[in-house]
Amino acid sequence: MEGAGYRVVFEKGGVYLHTSAKKHQDPDSLIAGVIRVVEKDSDVVLHWVPVEEAGDSTQILFSKKDVSGGDSCTSEEEPTFDPGYEPDWAVISTVRPQSRHSEPTRGAEPSSPRGSWAFSVSLGELKSIRRSKPGLSWAYLVLVTQAGGSLPALHFHRGGTRALLRVLSRYLLLASSPQDSRLYLVFPHDSSALSSSFHHLQLFDQDSSNVVSRFLQDPYSTTFSSFSRVTNFFRGALQPHPEGASPDLPPPPDDEPEPGFEVISCVELGPRPAVERTPPVTEEEWAHHVGPEGRLQQVPVLKARIFSGGLSPSLRREAWKFLLGYLSWEGSAEEHKAHVRKKTDEYFRMKLQWKSVSPEQERRNSLLHGYRSLIERDVSRTDRTNKFYEGPENPGLGLLNDILLTYCMYHFDLGYVQGMSDLLSPILYVIQNEVDAFWCFCGFMELVHGNFEESQETMKRQLGQLLLLLRVLDPPLCDFLDSQDSGSLCFCFRWLLIWFKREFPFPDVLRLWEVLWTGLPGPNLHLLVACAILDMERDTLMLSGFGSNEILKHINELTMKLSVEDVLTRAEALYRQLTACPELPHNVQEVLGLVPPAEPQSPSPPTSPLPLSPTRAPPAPPPPEDTAPQPDSSLEILPEEEEEESTES
């Protein structure tokens, strides 16, 4: 709707004021009204006006709404929410807004008692916006002005909070805190206002005008990474203030670092493309890529085929050595033989270090004794239902034990952590050679060693990246998980820790890992695999009304019930859907590997693992030249399993 000097760009009826703090509102305490965003001259105004009779629909909506500029809410009704009845946010503030001269409307007459509640506020006067926490009743918004007072809480009985926030994001920058996802801090798009704010707050060392230009191009990495310098400023906005205290005064210092802020932007993803996977790479196809001197040719094409179809079981023993960086993609057959001889010698030198420790020495070496005890316990229960490891005297168990203890010599700082046996087991099953399996395992650990660090910073970062992807792909699912105290996605911890080892049947794990090891179509495909599983289960989670305990139980019950081909197909479709979006946020592009990260991050699977060599093994005395290796330190070649993986396709 347009008038003399103004245009309505958004309008939503059924927006009420609750004038009583009681949990059960009586009809007299509810004031029905209409919320509008109005472009007036050079200003944009948020305007709420009551209607005299809630039952009169002509008083709620304009008869001629401007559909070209506004967002329709009828197609996106939100589920109802419980406002929580927090006295400081959910009911009418004692600070009344200053009345503004507004355009004549079809609402209540100015002389009516309810008409006195009408208000208008320029968007430039807003300081923050708070949403209600999820529940079972209406959603509401509370607007806080720069003067420090809050406008009456707006209760959306017919939904529409998201649509309003989307419209506001056209004129404002809305920044949400990870610690309080319900609070949005408001910043103007106007460059001069931003420059003034940056200069006043001294957020940057550079010239403010240059900062603004970079801010508008990349608001996340340019601006909010620097907000850590004014942590107290934001913490003051995030926390409610005691009565009588000034909201502009920072709270007492807090030693806990404030996490960064995320710019809220409405990302409209296009349709999800269809993806079809191809048959596995066969030995004949692999042989076509082997050129003169045994060098592999057209490696990018070969990797793309492995990504789209995986490997046939008979080819894995050779191909995994390349995928895990043990053998170089560019090396010749003779170079590979020399490399294997060198690595064999290095392995047995490291193995000799712990094999030569006497029981008396080990009693005084609590670290080695602890590693040995933990490894023996974990190995005894790793994949014991697999024929390769079943039985009390299975030689495979001894190899698992020896390789893991030798890895403690290879990586002193990390040593052994629970879960590593799960990563080694499939590699030894496929490679069936102690030395080769060890170096392939080292290649895998180069990708995921951060998962096992005591600080758990890598796992926290990956969960944060997973949440970021999920918020772009499926905001309603994220909102639901938040409402059930599951928004941290901790139920995905095991998925990421050992790369879904316990979620799929053993043959499917082999297929999944070899696809992930290609590094295609970009780093962090394992995060999209997690998104794909959640996407497959979203309806079950959301429509069943699960609480946090039921969500965790349902996720755990997915074990061995997932199809790896279906999950990989969906994960690739999600990747294509995201990368096709022209307005994909910069931080999402970083996670997908579309742009280089702002700061070095690890571990993310590189495009191709580099050849490995031990860097932490201390020098050991060379073995006597005339002494042959002992049986327990010799290469142990295991018999091949006949048709063990014939069920794979």
Residue 631 in domain: no
CA–CA separation, 499 vs 447, rounded Å?
A: 11
The residue behind tokens 């007072």 is: 149
Task: Express each pLDDT in 499-543 by its tens digit.
Answer: 999 999 999 999 999 999 999 999 999 999 999 999 999 999 999
Residue 111 in domain: no
Task: Express each pLDDT in 35-55 by its tens digit.
Answer: 999 998 888 999 999 986 433
Domain boundary among the residues 453, 471, 486 is at: 453
Instruction: Write 16-22 long-range contacts (CB < 8 A, 24+).
Output: 16/138, 16/154, 16/155, 16/157, 17/50, 17/92, 17/117, 17/152, 17/153, 17/154, 17/155, 18/90, 18/91, 18/92, 18/153, 18/155, 19/91, 19/92, 20/91, 21/85, 21/87, 21/90, 21/91
Q: What is the CATH number of the domain that holds 346?
A: 1.10.8.270
Looking at residue 26, its pLDDT comes to 63
Residue 376 in domain: yes
Query: Is 560 buried (19+), middle (13-18) or exposed (0-12) by CB count in 10 A?
Result: exposed
Looking at residue 540, its pLDDT comes to 94
Q: What is the CATH number of the domain that holds 479?
A: 1.10.472.80
Residue 386 in domain: yes
**How much of the chain is in helix, strand and coil states, percent to nearest 5?**
45, 10, 45
Residues of the chain with pLDDT under 70: 1-4, 20-28, 52-115, 134-137, 177-179, 189-266, 599-649
What stretches of 202-279 show up as alpha helix (H) in DSSP? 208-217, 219-222, 231-238
CA–CA separation, 232 vs 240, rounded Å?
A: 13
Same domain, 164 and 42: yes
Same domain, 447 and 465: no
Q: Decide: 165 and 184 in contact? Cβ < 8 Å.
A: yes
Looking at residue 582, its pLDDT comes to 92
CA–CA separation, 140 vs 212, rounded Å?
A: 33
Domain boundary among the residues 547, 578, 594 is at: 594
Task: Express each pLDDT in 284-335 by its tens digit.
Answer: 999 999 998 999 999 999 999 999 999 999 999 999 999 999 999 999 999 9
Same domain, 337 and 439: yes
- Please, which residues bridge with residue 39 across strands? 7, 44
Same domain, 382 and 404: yes
Which structural domain, as residue segments, surrounds residue 369? 331-453
The CA-atom distances, in angstroms, between 600 and each of 123, 204, 597, 604 are: 38, 22, 6, 10
Closest Cα partner for 152 from 83, 249, 103? 83
**Angle of helix 506-517 relative to helix 525-543, nearest 10 degrees?**
130
CA–CA separation, 17 vs 97, rounded Å?
A: 14
CA–CA separation, 62 vs 64, rounded Å?
A: 5
Same domain, 395 and 474: no
Residue 235 in domain: no
Closest Cα partner for 124 from 17, 219, 41, 238? 41
Looking at residue 413, its pLDDT comes to 93
Domain boundary among the residues 453, 480, 509 is at: 453
Looking at residue 41, its pLDDT comes to 80
Q: What is the CATH number of the domain that holds 10?
A: 2.30.29.230
Same domain, 421 and 508: no
Same domain, 458 and 485: yes
Same domain, 396 and 504: no
Residue 304 in domain: no
Domain count across the chain: 3
CA–CA separation, 461 vs 474, rounded Å?
A: 20
Same domain, 505 and 521: yes
The pTM for the full model equals: 0.57
Residue 271 in domain: no
Same domain, 3 and 145: yes
Same domain, 357 and 470: no
Residue 641 in domain: no
Same domain, 426 and 441: yes
